[in-house]
Amino acid sequence: MNQDEKYSQLEQRITELENQVKTLSQLLPLVEQISTLEKIQNNFTLIEDVDRYSPLRNLLAAGDFKGADRETARVLLEKSGEDRDSLTPDDVRKFSCNTIRVIDRLWRNYSQDCFGFSIQIQIYLEEGGTRESLIAQDINQLMKFGDRVGWRINNQWQTGTYDQWDFSVAAPKGCFPAIWWSSPYGAKMVNFFFVRLLECKI
């Protein structure tokens, strides 16, 4: 191939690239329109979310952690499409990561980072828990967590004394949300939910 042919091929390639740039430039407004449409759709979702999460936010803003704890359970059950009696660990595996994140963010914001799902999984891991211990349903590891967050006192689970708990920021860090864990499946429900927190990177 002589020099002229090389130059000719190079010019042809440059022309092709210029045409591609023109095509992409013409598509850019369409991409921006799609992006705008997605933002509008997201805003409609936010409107729905505001309606769904407003009661929880209002309770937390008022410092009513007991009411907020019960509202958290209501929202989670509503989003799962189940009631407390029919909710299974398999249902927990499918919990919406976005729902968990919103609830966690609200709890953290209004408790000065004392409470929330991310605080709870952080404490579980600090106590030596792992994904493997969760999958293995390691009750001893879960008891360490329960001792740390005040769900267990003097080696006893405190579910029966819930109404007497401290519902202020003075309660043990990571104590809330708590009541929604109450389930016929017991500790298994907590383990499955913690696995979901890890999957959602909460």
Domain assignment present for 4: no
pLDDT band at 189, cuts 50/70/90?
Answer: confident
pLDDT tens profile 59-71:
999 999 999 999 9
Q: Residue 95 above 50 pLDDT?
A: yes
pLDDT band at 89, cuts 50/70/90?
Answer: confident
pLDDT of residue 47: 46
Burial class (CB in 10 A: 0-12, 13-18, 19+), 116: buried
Domain assignment present for 92: yes
Q: Which of 164, 68, 58 is nearest to 115 (CA)?
A: 68
* Bond prior to 184 in cis (omega within 30° of 0): no
pLDDT tens profile 98-147:
999 999 999 999 999 999 999 999 999 999 999 999 999 999 999 999 99
Domain assignment present for 15: no
Domain assignment present for 117: yes
The string of DSSP codes covering 51-91 is: HHHHHHHHHHHTT-HHHHHHHHHHHHHHHHT--TTT--HHH
Q: What one-letter code names the amino acid at 64?
A: D
Q: Residue 57 above 70 pLDDT?
A: yes
Domain assignment present for 175: yes
Q: Which of 150, 148, 183 is nearest to 168 (CA)?
A: 150
Q: What angle do CA 160, 164, 169 make, to 5 degrees?
A: 120
Q: In this predicted structure, which of 34-43, 56-65, 163-172, 186-195 has the lowest mean pLDDT? A: 34-43
State how far the Cα of 73 lies from the Cα of 62, in Å rounded to an integer. 18
Instruction: Give CA 97 to chain center in angstroms.
Output: 4
Domain assignment present for 1: no
pLDDT tens profile 11-30:
676 677 677 767 766 766 65
Domain assignment present for 90: yes
pLDDT of residue 45: 43
For the chain, what percent of residues have pLDDT higher than 70?
A: 79
pLDDT band at 179, cuts 50/70/90?
Answer: confident
In the DSSP assignment, the letter for residue 138 is -
Domain assignment present for 33: no
CA distance between the termini of the chain: 61
**Number of domains comprising the chain:** 1
Domain range for 107 is 55-199
Q: Kindly report the pTM of this predicted structure.
A: 0.74
Burial class (CB in 10 A: 0-12, 13-18, 19+), 20: exposed
Q: What one-letter code names the amino acid at 46?
A: L
pLDDT of residue 91: 85
pLDDT of residue 50: 64
Rg (CA), the chain: 26
Say how many C-beta atoms besides its own lie within 10 A of residue 125's C-beta: 15
* 3 state SS of 96: coil
